[in-house]
Structure 1
């Protein structure tokens, strides 16, 4: 469904953003810039520091990424590495199966490096944590 929306946006000449892509892929119904997701999730969604498949990794806004970023966890590789799917990490494109490594001092996912190209990890990015989709129960 999320990839179909991306195709439709491209066909109309529209930009692909991380927020609507993550919302559709995860089912987490939060609106607004990615940097606001962590605060908006409070009291509506569980949040934490452990990645789970289907959870949304919430990146903090930075000078180079002022609106923040969100990515959906698709696989747990180890306690310090996950695989994510996300949009607009590379301008106006969806990046599937991209690695993310926890490089935080206390192994708490507060600082990560993201695979910019297969096998190549870029700069350091601060992370708020993970937002977990509501599970019917």
Structure 2
């Protein structure tokens, strides 16, 4: 049954079909999830998105709701990672909705809504970040490089952010020791 639900959700995410599964029921890789959640029609490994967007989409270093944040490949992220900004809380704190980051029930691939992303770059330019991680119930200890944000031309998914996102919790994640 669980495999059927995952396939149904993935089918709805990838095809834009009429399946009734929620975007947040998705289990799989970050790329098809980010494409469905943002409307940015780029394919291939996450680390390739930044260069692929050049000339096709506006890119920059300021987070906006619906923008895709691109993590380049690194030792910890050999295929990179992409996530979608669901909420801008303040200049250095945003919320993401993404897939395949934290483990849930011992496995990766699940979607997570409105998790904290904190800019820790020395120049406040979003080139280095910390990401909320379920296993630590807060920001993980790792700092990740970021290429920047890809700004989609379409409308972001309705479920990108929740009804009552925890802005205060995101600020506490970012600034409380």
TM bucket (normalised to shorter chain) is 0.7 to 0.9
Tell me the CA shift for residue 95 of structure 1.
1.1
Structure holding more strand per residue: 1
* Shift in alpha-carbon separation, 1:107–1:30, aligned structure 2, 3 A: same
- Aligned equivalent of 2:97: 85
Equivalent in the alignment of 2:62: 50
Name the structure 2 match of 1:101: 118
What is the RMSD of the two structures over their aligned residues, measured on CA atoms?
Answer: 2.3
Which residue number in structure 2 is paired with residue 8 of structure 1? 8
Q: Tell me the TM-score normalised to structure 1 length.
A: 0.87
Structure 2's unaligned 5+ residue stretches are 12-25, 103-107, 156-177
Instruction: Confirm whether residue 73 of structure 1 aligns to residue 73 of structure 2.
Output: no
Q: Structure 1: 5+ residue runs without aligned partners?
A: none
Which stretches of structure 1, 4 residues or more, deviate above 6 A after TM superposition?
A: none
Q: How far did residue 8 of structure 1 move?
A: 1.5
Q: Pick one of 44, 63, 75 that aligns with 1:63.
A: 75
* 1:34 match: 46
Give 1 or 2 for the bigger CA radius of gyration.
2
Q: Is the 8 A contact 1:9 1:16 kept in 2?
A: no
State TM-score, norm by structure 2: 0.68
Question: Is the helix fraction higher in 1 or 2?
Answer: 2
Aligned residues: 130
